[in-house]
Amino acid sequence: MSNEASPGTGTATSPAGSPDERAGVGSGAPGIASYIDHTLLKPEASEADILKVCAEAAEYRFKSVCVNPVWVKTVKTALKGTGVLTCSVVGFPLGATPSDVKAFEARGAVLDGADEVDMVIDIAAARASDTGALVDDIKAVAEAVHAEEAILKVIIETGLLTDDQKVLACEAAVEAGADFVKTSTGFNGGGATVEDVALLRRTVGPDLGVKASGGVRSLEDAQAMIAAGATRIGASSGIAIVKGEQGSSAY
């Protein structure tokens, strides 16, 4: 199972080029689209809402559409032939679910067609500095996801952790075989910051992806995150970002 860190090709690579090049500055706002997981995780989202997001993702050439597990089959069908990936979430948004249940949920998502799964860690274990529990939690999901050759992103919820705890969680993700670490759910306060993205990148090194999520609402925000080391952006303001406008969504 190779780690997918490149925004465009799905090939394992280190973040190449200068910070400006990684941020898509040279190619303008449309170059950012291939970094974006176009996201709709509101519990009240309807099928019409989901299909609208899929159509937007196909039009703007976003990297993926990220939805709750109940919508994975719908998204997979809607995106067929577009080249846009299907992404879902596990243990979302609290992470306070037994590991075997997270693994079951992840297995169901990938069997329904998810190419990528974003899981929330056991946040209490991270705050208690319980590395063993974190590794076991992530590894259970990683095995389920990788068995179907899908990608696992690990949400550490940076807004609830100290810097030492963020490092611990990232190290656990590396040990457990994750493909990405991700800053936030966007549902538990806080969100992505340049400082946290840089810390995650320093901790996991060049081979894992880093996803910045939560509060990324403009092209400037996205470019700053990518310059700090992000290889993916989770946002519901993707269209505003690629248009160089200011989004208003909380996620």
Residues noted as catalytic: 118, 182, 211
Q: How many helices (H) and strands (E) does the chain have?
A: 10, 8
CB count in 10 Å sphere of residue 248:
9
Q: Are 121 and 82 in contact (CB under 8 A)?
A: no
Residue 89 neighbours by CB under 8 Å, 6+ apart: 41, 66, 67, 68, 69, 117, 118, 119, 120
Please tell me the distance from the alpha carbon of residue 209 to that of residue 50, in angstroms, as a whole number.
26
B/e letters for 141-168, b = 16+ CB within 10 Å, e = fewer, are bbebbbeeebbbbbbbbbbbbeeebbbb
